[in-house]
Amino acid sequence: MTAPLPTAPAVPVTPLRVLICDEMNPGNLVHSGFELDYEGNMPREEILRLLPEYDALITRSRTKVDRELIDAAGPRLKVIGRGGVGVDNIDLDYASLRGLLVLNAPESNNVSAAELAIMHLMAAARGLTRSDSKTRQGVWDRKFLGLELKDRTLGIVGLGRIGSIVADRAQGLRLNVVAFDPYVPDSKFERLGVKRAATLDELLPQVDFLTVHTPLTDETTGMVGARELALMRPDSIVVNAARGGIIEEQALVDALHSGHLFGAGVDVFVDEPPTPDHIFLSAPNLGITAHLGANTREAQERVGAEIVARVLAALHGDVSKGAVNAPALDAKTLELLGGHLDLGGKLGRILAQLLPGAHNIEVTFQGEFPADPVPVVTAVLVGYLSGSTDELPNMINARALAKERGLNVAIREVADSPDYQTEVIVKVFSGGGEEKERTRTVGGTVFGRSPRLTRLRDYRVELEPQGFILIASNQDKPGAVAKLSNLLGTWGVNIAGMALGRAQKGGEALFTLTLDDGLNPEQLQAIRDLDVIDSAYIVRV
């Protein structure tokens, strides 16, 4: 009988170690294959000493994850988790340079933030702040008449995660809900039972109450000002529990003083904390909270458990949720595709402004690319989703965010490129069914490492995509460019570049101008009113 072969001794598996150094409720600390050490409010000197022994670090806002701390961590550290939304305490650029993945847990406070908005709405409708103040002053005022919510209409700006919860809660209060969000497909409105407004101007006159739940971007800063508030019905209520500055502070106070607004509620300021003389503090019928959207016991418990789960998943290779940064691609890929990645992001940003809320996006690669061009698709998605989602899109999370938005992605590859060595053509689709399908197409190539715009709709152009681009169509007749140039000159707007294209002589023509400055809505309308212009749009790249 042959003797059995000796069994090799089992090699012990070294657990992945995670250090949690700030106060939170991390939930269960026992996970197979991991070793989690939790010490809230750990001194910085102790973090610097211990961090080289860990694979991941989890913080809240207290610990500054700066260059000193990142350098002290050494090569073992792979992931940094930040419980909550903000990452202001983390040097993102340096973390990315060192190849560290940074995660957060922004969804943990969604319910709490939504409920706070509803609370502000109800408090304003019943004069809670006013009555509380008078009663404390010894004034027993029972003459004040509030408003019922039932059968009135709530307008929501931004139907993302928090806006969707607000819509659900509002319907439970028997409110009719209408929303404006150009980046969300019709299917989501239908699923939520929410009426869609095509524009903000269409939304405002038909609502009794307004709440905003959109990221703070160049597009949304000051999007509700004096003009917009004037469009609302008299005795309306406005709530901002999203970001300070979406509703212009002075315009809101003026509308309260004039009596046009019945009341308002704010949880956020442009500058926080506010100064003692801030205009909100003396405004009538205005309820104020100190940026408390995430501050519930339940939200704080979810924050800890959620960021721990995401960090552990990331250490096992799943980075689909919560990624805040995108560690640099390897040097070879970046060298080969760097210009095309930049191009993809620019094409996506242009299309997001020409046709937001698309349900399908098609990326066609023509020609022989120096490397697998699939990362360019992700760059296109990053550009298209920027400014339209609750989370900041990047090369790690863009595909997951696109899936969540209901955005289908198709990739086509064509061996030959008739006009350029390589060309990336991106087409987006919206509508369909009872609504007429709309499409927009842009294309580009790379000269050296410099992106160039090569296609708009069916027209050939050649333009460097940067700054502000004015896209205008007209009948191919003399004088169109001259009239437009003269108009821009009267406004002091300089033209940095120009590209012309036409389908046929005497037919429709398209020309694009890169401008040093943007145009306000009145200026853009003046261009559209020119007798030589059929349509005009401006995009910012």
> What residues act catalytically?
243, 272, 291
User: How far is the C-alpha of 304 from the C-alpha of 104, rounded, in Å?
Assistant: 10
- In degrees and rounded to multiples of 5, residue 50 shows phi and psi of -90, -25
CA-based nearest residue to 105, from 60, 74, 64: 60
Check if the beta carbon of residue 471 is closer than 8 Å to that of residue 536.
yes
Interatomic CA distance for residues 488 and 500, integer angstroms: 17
> Are the CB atoms for 113 and 130 separated by under 8 Å?
no
Q: Cα separation of 302 and 315, whole Å?
A: 20
Angle at 466 between CA 391 and CA 95, to 5 degrees: 40
Q: Determine the residue type at 276.
A: P
Angle value at C-alpha 534, between 205 and 343, nearest 5 degrees? 90
For 460, the 3-state DSSP assignment is strand
Longest dimension (CA), the chain: 103
Query: Is 81 strand, coil or helix?
Result: strand
- What residues pair up with 429 in beta bridges, in sequence order? 360, 439
Helices (H), 82-212: 92-97, 110-125, 128-136, 161-172, 186-192, 200-203
Q: In what helix (H) or strand (E) does residue 230 lie, and over which residues does it extend? A: helix 226-231
Nearest to 441 by CA among 507, 395, 501: 501
- Answer positive or negative: Cα dihedral of 8, 9, 10, 14: negative
Give the DSSP H or E segment for 413: strand 408-414
HSE, CB side, 13 Å, CA atoms: give it for residue 242. Answer: 30
- Write a three-state SS string for 7-60: CCCCCCCCCEEEEECCCCCCCCCCCCCEEEEECCCCCHHHHHHHHHHCCEEEEC
* CA–CA distance, 174 with 124 (Å, rounded to integer): 17
The closest alpha carbon to 222, from 267, 202, 252, belongs to 252
Residue 422 to residue 446: CA distance in whole angstroms: 8
Sequence-distant (≥ 6) Cβ neighbours of residue 447 within 8 angstroms? none
Cβ count within 10 A of residue 15: 13
CA 428 from chain centre, in angstroms, equals 19
What are residue 470's DSSP bridge partners?
513, 538
Decide if 468 contacts 540 (C-beta within 8 A). yes
> Pairing between strand 176-180 and 195-196?
parallel
